Amino acid sequence: DAKTTQPTSMDCAEGRAANLPCNHSTISGNEYVYWYRQIHSQGPQYIIHGLKNNETNEMASLIITEDRKSSTLILPHATLRDTAVYYCIVRAQITNNAGNMLTFGGGTRLMVKP
């Protein structure tokens, strides 16, 4: 699976959009981009994933560059409850019986401030 690089921390004002970047310059053609977040002492929460098209759901939007070497997770109107560590993961579609482990890197600690 490709390695990802994310900023260690970011701040965002409550009510504003939070834009979290992720670099994955070694991504392969069959690898998807997944975003999770983890609030302290809770399990990771799935947010969104995509291959090459931009994706949007009720939680966020995922913008993937045309060359797929980077992506941005957008929380359109950040609230205090969005304060968490956000993980960008790149992983290939599973096609065999090998372990289906998720590998979390350091992530970005997003602090939403009033």
Partner 1 sequence: DGGITQSPKYLFRKEGQNVTLSCEQNLNHDAMYWYRQDPGQGLRLIYYSQIVNDFQKGDIAEGYSVSREKKESFPLTVTSAQKNPTAFYLCASSIRFRGNQPQHFGDGTRLSIL
Q: Which residues bind partner 1 (CB under 8 A)?
A: 32, 34, 41-46, 49, 51, 93-97, 99-105
- Least separation in angstroms between residue 63's CB and partner 1 is 18
Nearer to partner 1, 14 or 55 (CB): 55
By CB atoms closer than 10 A (0-12, 13-18, 19+), residue 105 is: middle
- CA end-to-end span of the chain: 37
What is the closest distance, in whole angstroms, from the C-beta atom of residue 13 to partner 1 in the complex?
28
Residue placing its CB nearer to partner 1 in the complex, 26 or 30: 30
Please provide the DSSP assignment of 15-46 as one string: TS-EEEEEE-TT--TTEEEEEEEE-TTS--EE
Rounded to a whole number of angstroms, the minimum distance from the CB of residue 77 to partner 1 is 23
